[in-house]
A and B are shown apart, each in its own frame.
Chain A
Amino acid sequence: DTGVSQNPRHKITKRGQNVTFRCDPISEHNRLYWYRQTLGQGPEFLTYFQNEAQLEKSRLLSDRFSAERPKGSFSTLEIQRTEQGDSAMYLCASSPPRAGLNTEAFFGQGTRLTVV
Chain B
Amino acid sequence: AQKVTQAQTEISVVEKEDVTLDCVYETRDTTYYLFWYKQPPSGELVFLIRRNSFDEQNEISGRYSWNFQKSTSSFNFTITASQVVDSAVYFCALNGGSYIPTFGRGTSLIVHP
Contact = CB atoms under 8 A, between A and B. Distances in A.
Interface string B94-105: 011111111111
B16 interface: no
B44 A101 contact: no
B43 interface: yes
* Chain B contact residues: helix, strand, loop or mixed: loop
Nearest to B97: A101
B96 to A, nearest CB: 7
Contacts of A12: none
Contacts, number: 63
Interface of B: 4, 6, 9, 31-33, 35, 37, 42-47, 50, 52, 91, 95-106
29 contacts: A31-B99, A33-B101, A35-B103, A40-B9, A40-B105, A41-B106, A42-B4, A42-B6, A43-B91, A45-B100, A45-B101, A48-B100, A56-B100, A89-B43, A91-B45, A93-B45, A101-B31, A101-B32, A101-B52, A101-B97, A102-B52, A102-B95, A104-B35, A104-B37, A104-B47, A104-B50, A105-B45, A105-B47, A112-B43
